[in-house]
Chain A
Amino acid sequence: DAGVIQSPRHEVTEMGQEVTLRCKPISGHDYLFWYRQTMMRGLELLIYFNNNVPIDDSGMPEDRFSAKMPNASFSTLKIQPSEPRDSAVYFCASSPTGNEAFFGQGTRLTVV
């Protein structure tokens, strides 16, 4: 398995535009996590899924953020409209139940 795959690796967009981040978890992992990393706030959990179902989205900062997991091999995190304060590295991670979470390489988002 190639591990958790995220795309794009880098995204630069203008304020107000829609941004979609993508994640392919490791096959067989039933948990998927989306984290946002900034210098100020560290690794914040935004939302996590179990068997494609969102379990806890209390970390999603605003209604501008949404996440979906239409099947076991794909998830998206969407920001609409984007703002400069959304600039961060967004990580997706997957894990088998109750075990090590494997991280993707992250998407570095810059909103100008």
Chain B
Amino acid sequence: GENVEQHPSTLSVQEGDSAVIKCTYSDSASNYFPWYKQELGKRPQLIIDIRSNVGEKKDQRIAVTLNKTAKHFSLHITETQPEDSAVYFCAAMDSSYKLIFGSGTRLLVRP
């Protein structure tokens, strides 16, 4: 079955710097890759997603890239702000629509 690995587990950046979180997946049939943000005590919420027929997608300060050959995808946050501090999860959905999450990255943006 699908296995998603995520790195780093924690990331601390200065406000205004960029943050990059990387994930790899194992099932080449996976075709949908969402990213979720979870603030303390709240539910995970989608921030951006990408499908396997697209290499890159951008939405304001966040972007996601996908390399199907290498089976890895990354989240990029530019001009980080303190409110970006949260836990970020990558996920992969396989051909049977099973959604598997990575282990999460705790991002801290220092003012």
A residues with a Cβ closer than 8 A to B are 31, 33, 35, 42-43, 45, 48, 50, 55-56, 58, 91, 93, 95, 97-106
Minimal Cβ-Cβ distance residue in B for A56: B98
- Give how many B residues have a beta carbon under 8 Å from the other chain's beta carbons: 21
A103–B97 touching, CB < 8 Å: no
A43–B104 touching, CB < 8 Å: yes
A97–B1 touching, CB < 8 Å: no
Assembly CA distance A31 to B93 (angstroms): 12
With a cutoff of 8 Å between Cβ atoms, the chain A residues found around residue B62 in the complex are none
B98–A95 touching, CB < 8 Å: no
Known: A43-B104, A101-B34. 17 other contacts (CB 8 A): A33-B99, A42-B89, A42-B101, A42-B103, A45-B98, A45-B99, A55-B97, A91-B44, A95-B99, A98-B31, A98-B93, A100-B34, A100-B49, A102-B46, A103-B43, A103-B45, A106-B43
Q: Which of A43, A48, A105 contacts B101 (CB 8 A)?
A: A43
